[in-house]
Amino acid sequence: MRITVLAPAKINLFLHVLGKRDDGYHELLTLFQMVGIYDEISVERVAGEVRLRCDIQGVAEEENIAFRAAVLLKEACGVNDGAVITLDKAIPMAAGLGGGSSDAAAVLFALNRLWSLGLGREDLMQLGLRLGSDVPFFLSGPAAVGRGRGELLEPFPPLESWVLLVNPGFAVSTAWVYRNVNLKLTTLRDNTKLPSFLKKGLSAVKLCNEDLHEHLYNSLEEVTEHYYPEVTEIKNRMLDCGASAALMSGSGPTVFGLFNREVDAQKAAAALYRKDRRIFVAPTLTRSPLTL
Ligand code: C5P
């Protein structure tokens, strides 16, 4: 038996770092939104151990978060069977798009079925948090407000938009970005409208893009932009090319731009082309591909 699932990317429509916690993580207020670019993961039941087939250069099997997700689930549930996991990556890595976290969520989801474990969403989310702060979101979605490390989730009406994603072609370590964030500059003081926007959003069936625009913000941008000016260049160029907003996602360095029409996003994609960049045009998702 074999199960194949799609693991989507995410963007953070806003990401406020509110402070540093005693456990070393940072307290966040963020709005996650799934986007339709996908890694593909298939799992096949075999006797014995977990094995991973993946074409990523330089990442050992036991370091890959998809492999670690499978081992964690096998140990937590005392499963005797093994699995062969085939991971076909499309989402750039260390890019601010949550690719690894999404892979881990997809593996937990697929193996829960393959091994007939009968775990519910909450159980999977708790296990997922042991692998990474963003993993629980990928087991819920398609859009959610995240608090705490990003794991305290409240569903939010998904944004309906076309997204242009431009990854400059280099990796940025999330831990490094958080280490360098200037906490003095990261308060919610000057964003007093955010609480009322959140209240409205939680009760709204659908938000229009304009409702959201003034709240797009990322506390981590200044760190990544300071060391990698190309991020600022990409943002400015996207706005010149007609994006209604442009922002770095997560710890970066990928930048996303919002467009009402696919054709306009495609034109901007062509204008931003450089052979070292990875560029995608995709819709935001209004349903998660992992539905329990
Ligand atoms: O949770 P995850 O392993 O994906 O996070 C990677 C790194 O990012 C953490 O080791 C931590 O340094 C930083 N981080 C943080 N606060 C968060 C999420 C991540 O400081 N809320």
**Cβ contact 34:288 at 8 Å:** yes
Pocket probe for ligand 1: among 16, 22, 23, 26, the residue whose CB has the most ligand atoms within 8 Å is 26
Q: Does the beta carbon of 150 sit less than 6 angstroms from any atom of ligand 1?
A: yes
Place of tokens 């964690």: 72
The stretch 18-47 carries a mean pLDDT of 96
> Looking at ligand 1, which residue's alpha carbon is closest to its atom 20?
25
Tell me the pLDDT tens digit for each residue of 142-181. 999 999 999 999 999 999 999 999 999 999 999 999 999 9
Both structure tokens of 209: 């893009």
Collapsed DSSP state (helix, strand, coil) of residue 77? coil
Q: What is the pLDDT of residue 186?
A: 61
Q: Is the dihedral of CA 241, 247, 249, 251 positive or negative?
A: positive
Q: Model pTM?
A: 0.96
Choosing from 74, 89, 103, 134, which is the catalytic residue? 134
